[in-house]
Structure 1
Amino acid sequence: MAQLIIGTAQFGMNYGIANSTGQPSEKTIREIIECATANEILYYDTAISYGSSEEVLGKIFGELGIHQQVKVFTKVPKRTKTDSQASIDNSVKRSINRLKTDQLFSLLLHSESDYLYLEELRKIKEAGLCKHIGLSTGHDPSFNSEILKNQNLELLQIPANLLDRRNLVPNILDNAAEKQIIVRSIYLQGLFSIMPQVLSVFHRPLRSLLEQLNQIAQNFGMCIHELALRYILSYLPDYIVLGAESLLQFQNNLAWFKRGPLDRNILKKVNAVSYDLNFQLITPHLWPK
């Protein structure tokens, strides 16, 4: 059974294509964390590049007295050729200080091009600063399949969703062996929250496909968000990352998560929807700013 990780990019900055409320208030973040704790959800995904996310988490964890219970995944920024082991160590120690913890649950490199630094992360793990190490990667299934062979890698975080199935292939999911797979971008950075008829000009080619997926969800008594979440659960990842801008969003995510994978019949109908996409449409870093 997959574990739910609370994505916290929203906690430190404005995030998501459909985010109309902006960065949530500290009160709202606290409510989300309190609800998560009450439901024994203790995993959080953050990064140095997520604005004030680490500081906000550390403050609230301390106030609630749960900093020894929570399990935080954070990420070090993209490395440069001049970065030394000491600079990486210092970056990690600053994250630990901001999060008000003694040890990170997991430390990931935030760019797949930094995979050569996994050896440096191994040294950080041996020093006791984190329990697990890994890599956050992109949309290239060939690279992701190959990097799973790296002996230093324990965790691989990949994007996947109803529209972007590039990483939902056997040579990644079935060959992970001793590695653990984390799936992010379940809602494609909020794209599924936009009604198909009001998509931007850029995303308008997705209208017909999104209408078909919305109809499948409706036929089985779901919204597209529940369909999207349970679709990924059907591929049996170890963790999934879900962000929330409000307590209600988190509560909905949690309810859908608890319903587990889709029935085979529904999964078959989703996978039967044919599409030929320009990958730029489903790759957030390629979207117009």
Structure 2
Amino acid sequence: MTAALGLGSAQFGCDYGISNLRGRVSEDEVRQILQYAAQCGLKAIDVAPYEGDVERILGRCWPFPSPFKPQIRSVRAERGLDWVESRLKRSVEHMGLARVGVGMIDDASDLMGPQGDALWARMEKLKAEGLFSRIGISARYEDAPVALAKRFKPDLIQVPTSILDQRLVREGALEALADMGIEVQVRSVFLQGLLFTPREALPANLQPLGPQLSRIRRHLLETATDPLHAALSYALNLKGVSSVIVGVTTAAELRAVIAASDRPRPDLAWHAFAIEDPIALSPALWHADLSDDPRVRERRSVICAA
């Protein structure tokens, strides 16, 4: 299963994740993580320009020669397409590379705006010039990834899916994308560590979800299933998915992830772990002011129904 794993780099450039108590990863630890990832055959490294100084950190910490195929993300398009192109080229330069594996549109709303077609044409130009080998789109559930794929026909599409967030699985979107010949990559398989976070440590906006999360963890305990193993097994065995991006803060965590990914898939009622709370499934809302948000009323009915 380890061939299907890729590595996220958000933790290398900033404090990221609800369950991350260590904060930003030190460069020594980044080197150890990358070295172990290389030894285990991981190839994809997901890199975004807004994650601190992560590109230069990676450039200083790659094992040599680097076996990885990084995938870089675009900045937002409001400053123009020349800026998008310049920043993509700078990302490659900062990492000390001549080219990368994938160039990815980071925010699908840029493709749905007035510059969408021109932005995609610019990405195709950079692919033809050899800056990256493939073009991808990072999409959210709300972006309707199947419709996006039909319009732009990317080589790769990355979407959030997890044991807690099963919306795209339930709707058949992942299989539909794969049937179109598109590589499907899954991110947020731990939903920023929500499955591992004790009830008392949840942000205020997630406190109403505490009882449901406790029930999920209790069910895993009763079936003698480690939450890490369950989350990875769910993502790695999804039909149509070719790669899964995970984030870690230490080499020890990566060893645990790889060990869990190599274990047999447990026999669980996977649908029972899905949550429907619109706030919990949108990490950007976890610390937001929701006092006047209609989703607060919506979540009450959903949680009560659960």
Please report the TM-score for the alignment, with normalisation by the length of structure 2.
0.85
Call closer, same or farther: CA 1:43–1:186 in 2, change over 3 Å.
same
Q: Which amino acid in the other structure matches residue 279 of structure 2? A: Q
Identity percentage of aligned residues: 24
Local SS of the residue matching 1:153: coil
Given candidates 245, 248, 261, the residue that maps to 1:257 is: 261
Q: Which amino acid in the other structure matches residue 135 of structure 2? A: I
**CA offsets, 1:12-56, max 9 Å, x none?**
111111211110111111111111111111221111111111111
Assess if the C-alpha contact under 8 Å between 1:159 and 1:185 holds in 2.
yes
- Structural mapping, 1:1-289, within 5 Å: 3-61=4-62, 64-67=63-66, 69-80=67-78, 82-84=79-81, 86-115=82-111, 116=116, 117-140=119-142, 143-176=144-177, 177-236=180-239, 237-259=241-263, 262-263=265-266, 265-266=267-268, 269-272=269-272, 277-288=276-287
Local SS of the residue matching 2:260: helix
User: How many residues are matched?
Assistant: 278
Q: Which amino acid in the other structure matches residue 207 of structure 2? A: R
Whole-angstrom distance in 1 between the partners of 2:160 and 2:166: 9
Assess if the C-alpha contact under 8 Å between 2:12 and 2:30 holds in 1.
yes
**CA offsets, 1:243-271, max 9 Å, x none?**
001111111111112226x34x31xx231
Assess if the C-alpha contact under 8 Å between 1:216 and 1:270 holds in 2.
no
Whole-angstrom distance in 1 between the partners of 2:48 and 2:273: 35
Q: After alignment, is 198-207 or 112-121 more displaced? A: 198-207
Local SS of the residue matching 1:5: strand
Whole-angstrom distance in 2 between the partners of 1:195 and 1:94: 40
Whole-angstrom distance in 1 between the partners of 2:164 and 2:158: 18
What runs of 5+ residues in structure 1 fail to find an aligned partner? none
Assess if the C-alpha contact under 8 Å between 2:4 and 2:236 holds in 1.
no
Please report the TM-score for the alignment, with normalisation by the length of structure 1.
0.89
Q: Which amino acid in the other structure matches residue 202 of structure 1? A: N
Whole-angstrom distance in 1 between the partners of 2:152 and 2:202: 43
Assess if the C-alpha contact under 8 Å between 1:5 and 1:45 holds in 2.
yes
Q: Which amino acid in the other structure matches residue 114 of structure 1? A: D
Q: Which amino acid in the other structure matches residue 242 of structure 1? A: V
The structure 1 segments of at least 4 consecutive aligned residues displaced by more than 3 Å after TM superposition are 272-275
Whole-angstrom distance in 2 between the partners of 1:66 and 1:282: 39
Assess if the C-alpha contact under 8 Å between 1:140 and 1:166 holds in 2.
no
User: By how many angstroms is 1:150 displaced?
Assistant: 2.8
Local SS of the residue matching 2:168: coil
Local SS of the residue matching 1:140: helix
Whole-angstrom distance in 2 between the partners of 1:273 and 1:284: 18
**CA offsets, 1:136-170, max 9 Å, x none?**
111227x1121121344111111111222222245
Q: Which amino acid in the other structure matches residue 256 of structure 1? A: A
Local SS of the residue matching 1:281: coil
Assess if the C-alpha contact under 8 Å between 2:120 and 2:152 holds in 1.
no
